[in-house]
Structure 1
Amino acid sequence: MSALETSAFRDAMSRLGAAVNIVTTGTQTNPIGFTASAVCSVTDTPPTLLVCLNRGSRTRDAFMEGGTLCVNVLSSAQQALSNHFASPNTMAERFALGHWTTLATGAPVLEEAVATFDCRISQIVEVGTHSVLFAIVEGLRVNQNIGGLVYFNRAYHPLPHTTA
């Protein structure tokens, strides 16, 4: 069996819609963050998330050393913020946008996020080009009245606010 072509895999994966997140670590005085769509729930007992981080990312060392991370799920109005955190901007430039605070771990929390998962990294597994971070949730915040943002087929798509 021949190896699957990377471009074919990437094309197929672009059809797997995902929430858009800003993942942070550090502190309010030394914040680190990047845009990610490779985030998912692992289990609810204990509440654990999985975050994939490219090994070549300039933010990787901070996540390897810091022990904390915060997943900030972006709203439909935050596409520009997603692009801002995905750009080569400095960390100071990235965190100049939005309103930042902290919860349990001290990692930066975006006040305007749809949901925030404040976590401690419990395990890191190296897989191919990425580090897979497993993180146990220690704090949560949910904004009930705003819609989400997903990335599908290489484009952003807003999700409307709905009531449960």
Structure 2
Amino acid sequence: MSEAELQVRPGVERVDDAQALQTSFRQAMRRLAGGVALVSTVHDGVRHGMTVTAVTSLTMDPPALVVSVNRHASAFDALVLSGRFCVNLLTQQHADLAAAFARKPDGDARFANGAWRINEAGLPTLDGSVASISCRVHDLVEYGTHAILIGAVEHLEIEPQQPMAPLIFLSGQFGGFWPLTA
């Protein structure tokens, strides 16, 4: 199909320039709602953590998940060097905590807020999270500014009494989920 034959819907902007493409891509991805989690680890006796929205299951057999992490994030090196991490799935009550873990200070100081403990896997776990999933780094794939960590699930804690009120991130804001009624 030639360039002249390609049709773009009326009112839809076609982007080809590299810089404009990057800007438009960022705008497009801001329109995709994502669950919010805190990824935590311990390296050389110091806790490290960060807020993430790019987490998804990879496979159920064996249980594994994928986390996308900016390689310039303060916790990135600790995540890689420790070889282990815990994904703490947040509720709507954790919006302030998610915001705090997304900015400075770094390292152990981020854990001053929230009810944290060390779980059976030896990783920082947030009490009151919907679930805490402890993983071993099985593989790491670098691409551009980010790396994809493939985590083999080794330990899991689910809070059955915790209401299903997940924290969602959309267009630069935290929010919640409400089911559609029939």
Normalising by structure 2, we get a TM-score of 0.82
Residue 72 of structure 2 is aligned with which of 38, 42, 56? 56
Residue 133 of structure 1 pairs with residue 149 of structure 2: yes
Structure 2: tracts of 5 or more residues without a match: 4-15
Comparing 19-28 with 75-84, greater Cα deviation is found at 19-28
Matches within 5 A, 1:101-116: 101-116=117-132
Residue 153 of structure 1 pairs with residue 171 of structure 2: yes
> What letter is aligned with 1:77?
Q
> What letter is aligned with 1:148?
P
Runs of 4+ aligned residues of structure 1 deviating over 6 Å after TM superposition are none
Indicate the residue corresponding to 1:19 in structure 2.
Answer: 35
Deviations 1:104-159 (A, max 9, x none): 43111111111111111100010111011000111111223321100012211123
Is the 1:104–1:138 contact (alpha carbons within 8 Å) kept by the matching residues of 2? no
Comparing 62-71 with 4-13, greater Cα deviation is found at 4-13
Indicate the residue corresponding to 1:121 in structure 2.
Answer: 137
Structure 1: tracts of 5 or more residues without a match: none
CA distance in 2, matches of 1:49, 1:74: 16
Indicate the residue corresponding to 1:98 in structure 2.
Answer: 114
Where relative contact order (Cα < 8 A, 6+ residues apart) is larger, the structure is 1
CA distance in 1, matches of 2:120, 2:63: 15
CA distance in 1, matches of 2:49, 2:148: 16
Normalising by structure 1, we get a TM-score of 0.90
Matches within 5 A, 1:22-37: 22-26=38-42, 29-37=45-53
Identity of aligned residues (%): 34
> What letter is aligned with 1:81?
L
Secondary structure of 2:114 counterpart: coil
Indicate the residue corresponding to 2:92 in structure 1.
Answer: 76
CA distance in 1, matches of 2:45, 2:178: 34
Residue 86 of structure 1 pairs with residue 93 of structure 2: no
CA distance in 1, matches of 2:170, 2:83: 30
**Greater helix percent: which structure?**
2
> What letter is aligned with 1:153?
S
> What letter is aligned with 1:95?
F
